[in-house]
Structure 1
Amino acid sequence: MGELVEKSGGCQCGRVRYTARVDPAAAYPCHCRMCQRATGGVYAAMVQVDPAHCTFHGEPNWYASSAIAERAFCPACGSPIGFRYIDRREFDLTLGTFDDLSGFRPQSQFGCEGAIPGWQDLTGIEGTRSEDYAPLQERWRAAGVAPPE
């Protein structure tokens, strides 16, 4: 694969933070139904990490999601943070929890039996940037806070 780079990340509320050395080329989407349900997404975007290369600042909770695996999450805000098989040292971090997503590029996919065809290639579908959506910006102004990055 590729070179390890240091990246930081954490949950939505900031209670669980981490620094990890990861290989951005090892990122992958998992389309299996368990990952879809665990993350609430059409797939879970993950990258594997060696526990020796990851330090948590605020420990996540681990939920036994099946007889063979468990998932890390923030006990305060519920953000899904990771996944691991109970018989392995290595675990996966969810890409959405990284502070900087640059460099991650999937080289493989997993759980393809659960892939939703209409959600794999979004090329050519019209999109709106959050900062260009006036109702959202007005909600932030009314709340008296700046929109998050």
Structure 2
Amino acid sequence: MAETMTGGCARGRIRYTARPDSDEAYLCHCRMCQRATGSVSIPFKTLRKADVAWAREPDWYQSSPFARRPFCRECGASLGFQYPESDKTDLTVASFDDPSRFRPTAHFAAESMHCAWIDTSGLPETRSEDYQPLVDRWMNSVGKLPDQT
């Protein structure tokens, strides 16, 4: 199943090509990931480093004494996590151009999990294009709505 997929940061400055070997992904709930991404959890896809090619090397920061994270310094997008000595790397699921392929199969760092945010079914839902103040901002700025794919 090693189909080639692409992804990158919000502005397109950092791009990559990856060859995932499965659709399996996981949610990390550790406090370090929460703080690094500003989210209660972060979905990651683990890949072999050899299966990821950066069109432009991302910016990196040392997020702990033993791990580092790729990101884009211009748009702030979090792109992943890795232990430098490992042959594996994690890419953020949402940084893939088509993240819909991946399915969560596990939770990591469950001690920091915020369970109220796991199952949000039943909450009211609003589509972006149905929220007129946002539509107006896009139309006044660039004359169209952004591509949502």
TM-score (norm 2): 0.93
User: How far off its partner does 1:64 sit?
Assistant: 0.5
Report how many residues are paired.
147
> Aligned residue for 1:120?
118
Which one-letter code corresponds to 2:39 in the other structure?
A: G
Match of 1:81 among 79, 82, 87: 79
Q: Among residues 108, 111, 125, which one is paired with 1:110 in the alignment?
A: 108
Q: CA deviation at 1:126?
A: 1.0
- Tell me the distance in 2 between the aligned counterparts of 1:6 and 1:102: 15
Sequence identity of aligned pairs in percent? Answer: 46
Which residue type is aligned with residue 75 of structure 1? R
* Residue of structure 2 in register with 1:61 after alignment: 59
Q: CA deviation at 1:5?
A: 2.6
Taking structure 1 as reference, are residues 127 and 146 closer, same or farther at Cα in structure 2, changes over 3 Å only? same
Instruction: Give the TM-score normalised by structure 1.
Output: 0.93
Matched to 2:104, the amino acid is: P
User: SS of the residue aligned with 1:79?
Assistant: coil
The residue aligned with 1:72 is: 70
Aligned-partner Cα distance in 2 for 1:88–1:119: 31
1:75-115 per-position Cα deviation (integer Å, ceiling 9, x unaligned):
22121011001331210000111110122101111011111
Aligned to 1:27, the other structure's residue is in SS state strand
Q: C-alpha distance in 1, partners of 2:104/2:79?
A: 18
Gaps of 5+ in 1: none
Which ranges in structure 2 are unaligned for 5 or more consecutive residues?
Answer: none
RMSD: 1.2
Q: How has the CA–CA distance of structure 1 residues 21 and 147 changed in structure 2, closer, same or farther, with 3 Å as cutoff?
A: same
Deviation, structure 1 residue 147: 2.2
Check if 1:9 corresponds to 2:33: no
Retained in 2: the 8 A contact 1:25–1:107?
Answer: no
Question: Larger deviation: 127-136 or 19-28?
Answer: 19-28
